[in-house]
A and B are shown apart, each in its own frame.
Chain A
Amino acid sequence: MGTPRVPTGLPTDLPAGTGPAWAGPAPGGVGESTLRPDGTLKVTGEFAYASDLWHEDMLWGHTLRSPHAHARIRSVDVSGALATPGVRAVLTHADLPAATRYGLEIEDTPVLADGVVRYHGEPVALVAADHPETARRAAAKIEVAYEPLPVVTGEASALAPGAPVLHPGRTDAHARHVPHPNVVHRQPVRRGDVAAARARADVIVTGDYEVGMQDQAFLGPESGLAVPAEDGGVDLYVATQWLHADLRQIAPVLGLPEDKVRMTLSGVGGAFGGREDLSMQAHACLLALRTGRPVKMVYNRFESFFGHVHRHPARLHYEHGATEDGRLTHVACRIVLDGGAYASSSPAVVGNAASLSAGPYVVDAVDAEALALYTNNPPCGAMRGFGAVQACFAYEAQMDRLAAALGLDPVEFRQRNAMSEGAVMPTGQVVDSPAPVAELLRRVKAMPLPPERQWESAGGAADVRALPGGLSNTTHGEGVVRGVGYAVGIKNVGFSEGFDDYSTARVRLEVVGGRPVATVHTAMAEVGQGGVTVHAQIARTELGVEQVTLRPADTRVGSAGSTSASRQTYVTGGAVRHACEAVRERVLELGRARFGTYHPAWATAELLLEGGKVTTDGGEVLADLAEVLGSDAVDLELVWRHRPTEPFDLVTGQGDGHVQYSFAAHRAVVEVDTELGLVKVVELACAQDVGKALNPLSVAGQIHGGTTQGLGLAVMEEIVVDPVTAKVRNPSFTDYLIPTILDTPTLPVDILELADTHAPYGLRGVGEAPTLSSTPAVVAAIRAATGLPLARVPVRPEHLTGT
């Protein structure tokens, strides 16, 4: 164990049997289900996750957190902790060397609590010690005198006269237009004449809906290793979603220029939005710089529940109208999102919720409003489908109720109102690429249904594993009723509302050992989604090489933006392609310079790089890449941007705010034990348009994963916050339940590929859309089985049994 365990690059080579001689499109290129370059490391246990890092002489960092949701800190006494043998440093707010606040969109989050704690679990002090147990024992000796303050827990208490203002003196960009300082951001969207449309509606349906607080529950807890450097800077190895956003926030806290904070991505055990904000990054660096020793911090599961933001819980009020022939007249809605104590990405969540509030439907009159609150609940931010998930649950419930009121089949009703290419969003934005909403619904409906009484074996005996309750043996078929439900959703891809959303790729082409080798270097956070697989595929397709080396993601290359918003294949994939194209042009220039006089095609033909050679589009080989390059390397780092977007008007919500839209539809088949209120999801089928599946295996994996997280929200996942104390009641995997393999049904997937001509290869962001419609489809199926209205997720046994 003499050498530090830190991330290294990934070679990706093609199967040995493929051989060097091939013609036509590159094997292992775009469109194939190539295998993950990190797969072997991950199945052997060698892949270095952030919590696996190790360094000679390293210390363990530990965080002391607030037991109160809102309290004034009267005093902090660290002397007992400092006197503990083995303790190397104890830090509080008073020890911070430079900036004391940070934030993804608004710098409102204290690095360590500054006189006030605003949520249960807020970091108050840090300890570094030789052993984690020493650090824990020392932290327990820190004496903090708290004076509890009244808590703000929802819209009523946040906006009540005399309510405590959680962030007085706000100067952020949203402070000017919000109706109350405890509102982080508010976004209306108004289009058409709702009053007139309402008058014309034959049926009006109103409903109130609620979405509980979901946790990303990535399996690899927050962790990282900070190593102080001789130049006074620090090297940070960390699991994150966005290296450069971390860097931008950390450097001011450390009082260091950004070039003295060198960040390298270590193995990331899932993210789903929960690693977009800082957790232990600045803390570990502060301890490392204070002690002069490497510091490792690893949250345990309990701490992880306090260590990252969650999905915003929401209350949604909707009114839909329709004419007798099943056409939507209008949608009016109000979406209140609980952002918790700090802003995180609440403004973006508000923008998504407001702009996507009407769903993937054509509706000419919309009056929508979304807002996020500051409360003393746990901070909420990005989670897969952010903002759109909450809205989709409500508008899809409304669509079912409208269909029922009109006596129409719920799928047929949706199809009548489904948007298609050319439709106008409530924001006024024209959907200018395929939007096959009706077709997706048709496809999930056309799939064969699983057999009735699927739990019965040939002999008629019940297999409890296939029944609600599973191994717990609660029913052998008694009380079990089947239901089928449908839903469809719309999600924006990429960062919206005028954000300068770009990515950077550095691509190098050279000859090593007689073979052309491409090296791809980006700062993209590989969090499990398979971006690394796709980057190698793009390099093979664009450069006609077999061998691609992927450099570890770090801050020595420009920003790749966040691995979120379904954007990385689009944006960093686009950047890699762009850099490859530029490298190819440079190679061809070299070729023309060296060999142009030997063959006229160098000047006249469309030239390609294929099979390690320069060829004409007619397939004639002009030269080996090895000859063209010789000992030269072509090495370019380039930035790439998608089409710009614009902010939404703060009054009308009008504006071309989104880059791209993605759509998925689900059909859920459930069996409900109606007496016990237990649900077994029997099948959850999805159809999704992905534009172009760069790696079909990975695309299916994204759809399966997103679908299952939606299932979790439907029937079990919720962080329960005490409404009186604002304390988290279930911060453990014993009480925050995520689906096991026995809860997860067969997940048939039907992938459409209708190209978006604005996007690289025609692709459409994949990761989030399946999380949206999964939840409402499951709940629709439970409603169908039980006849209950079910306006809240997760659905609990109590809701199904009236207890």
Chain B
Amino acid sequence: MRVNCTVNGRPREADDVWEGESLLYVLRERLGLPGSKNACEQGECGSCTVRLDGELVCACLVAAGQAEGREVVTVEGLAELAAQRAPDAGAAGDQGRDGAQTAGLSPVQRAFVDAGAVQCGFCTPGLLVAADDLLARVPDPSDADIREALSGNLCRCTGYEKILDAVRLAAARAGETV
């Protein structure tokens, strides 16, 4: 079957989609967007977290056909989304610890790099989409809020400590610019 949807603001079309395929497969294998990761394919790890019509979902549990006509935002579209939200913030790389490397990233992406929240990085795209969603809803989250919001995203490398740091850092930086 054919599936049409908007991904990161652009209309996309996938052909010859098998009816049992997930949105995750379509993104990764048909639309050239492998940023969303395939770690468990049963909604237990959050590595494939994307926004579907604005809601956080596991792309592995959305049938490709269910995405028909919907809007999807993946990790590849986070920077653009951040820029749309706050056209003045986010674009400049001056807040990062490493301007040369982190220009063009969304604030939460930059914070993950700066805080050392990335090791193998396989969980990172899903965590970024979830953390971005949290900070959009709750600009100054408590640690308990962060933990609850990220409780659907497994990380095997970091022990989560630097991930918490990264979300705190992104929130603090956003607070400074307001």
Contact = CB atoms under 8 A, between A and B. Distances in A.
Direct contact of A and B (CB under 8 A): yes
Interface of A: 1, 5, 13-17, 33, 35-40, 42-49, 51-52, 54, 131, 133, 216-221, 267-272, 298, 300-301, 463, 465-466, 471, 527-530, 697-698, 700-701, 704-709, 732-734, 738, 740-742, 744, 746-747
A746 B113 contact: no
Contacts of B124: 42-43
Contacts of A42: 118, 121, 124
B120 A218 contact: yes
Contacts of A298: 38
A218 B162 CA distance: 18
Contacts of B44: 732-734
Interface in B12-60: 18, 20-21, 28-29, 32-42, 44-45, 47
Nearest to B74: A45
B97 A269 contact: no
B98 interface: yes
Contacts, number: 200
Interface in B140-178: 144, 146-148, 150-164
A45 B39 contact: no
Given A42-B124, A44-B109, A704 B161 contact: yes
Nearest to A709: B156
Contacts of A133: 18, 20-21
A43 B106 CA distance: 9
B99 A740 contact: no
B101 A269 contact: no
Contacts of B164: 741
Contact of B112 (A43, A270, A471): A43
Nearest to A38: B121
A686 B120 CA distance: 22
A314 to B, nearest CB: 22
24 contacts: A13-B101, A39-B112, A39-B113, A42-B118, A45-B36, A218-B156, A219-B122, A269-B121, A271-B120, A298-B38, A301-B42, A465-B144, A471-B151, A528-B121, A697-B116, A698-B116, A701-B157, A704-B158, A709-B156, A741-B155, A742-B151, A744-B161, A747-B159, A747-B161
A40 B113 contact: yes
B72 interface: no
A220 B105 contact: no
Contacts of B161: 700, 704, 744, 746-747
Nearest to B28: A52
Nearest to A48: B34
A287 B34 CA distance: 24
A705 B18 contact: no
Contacts of A16: 99-100
Q: Is the interface of B mostly helix, strand, loop or mixed?
A: loop
A35 B113 contact: yes
A269 B45 CA distance: 13
Given A40-B113, A43-B112, A701-B116, A13 B36 contact: no
A300 B160 CA distance: 24
A465 B156 contact: no
A243 to B, nearest CB: 17
B163 A741 contact: yes
Interface in B99-117: 99-102, 105, 109-110, 112-114, 116
Given A701-B157, A705-B159, A220 B148 contact: no
Interface in B63-84: 74-76, 78-79
Given A701-B162, A742-B148, A742-B151, A36 B42 contact: no
Nearest to B113: A39
B16 to A, nearest CB: 9
A35 B119 contact: no
Given A13-B100, A42-B121, A738-B156, 9 more contacts: A35-B98, A38-B121, A43-B128, A47-B121, A271-B120, A300-B41, A301-B40, A528-B157, A701-B162
Given A733-B40, A733-B44, A744-B160, A44 B76 contact: yes
Given A45-B76, A219-B45, A527-B120, A705 B98 contact: no
Contacts of B109: 43-44
Contacts of A746: 161
A413 to B, nearest CB: 29
Given A221-B39, A298-B38, A301-B39, A704 B120 contact: no
A15 B37 CA distance: 30
Nearest to A296: B29
B105 A40 contact: yes
B36 to A, nearest CB: 7
Interface of B: 18, 20-21, 28-29, 32-42, 44-45, 47, 74-76, 78-79, 97-102, 105, 109-110, 112-114, 116, 118-125, 128, 144, 146-148, 150-164
A747 B161 CA distance: 7
A732 B45 CA distance: 11
Contacts of A39: 101, 112-113, 118, 121
B162 A704 contact: yes
Question: Which of A39, A48, A301, A701 has most chain B Cβ within 10 Å?
Answer: A39
Given A733-B45, A740-B151, A219 B39 contact: yes
A747 B122 CA distance: 22
Q: Which 10 A-B pairs have the closest CB atoms?
A: A45-B35, A528-B120, A269-B122, A42-B121, A704-B159, A708-B159, A52-B34, A733-B44, A528-B119, A39-B113
Nearest to A37: B101
B104 to A, nearest CB: 8
B40 A269 contact: no
Contacts of A528: 119-122, 157
B99 A33 contact: no
A17 B40 CA distance: 41
B119 A701 contact: yes
Contacts of A709: 156
A272 B156 contact: yes
Given A705-B158, A732-B44, A219 B123 contact: yes
A768 to B, nearest CB: 14
Contacts of A700: 116, 161-162
Contact of A705 (B33, B99, B119): B119
A1 B32 contact: yes
A452 to B, nearest CB: 18
A741 B41 contact: no
B97 A15 contact: yes
Given A220-B120, A741-B150, A45 B125 contact: yes
Question: Which of B33, B38, B110 has most chain A Cβ within 10 Å?
Answer: B38
A742 B41 CA distance: 21
Contacts of A471: 148, 151
A40 B110 CA distance: 8
B119 A530 contact: yes
Contacts of A527: 120
Contact of B79 (A44, A697, A706, A708): A44
A220 B39 contact: yes
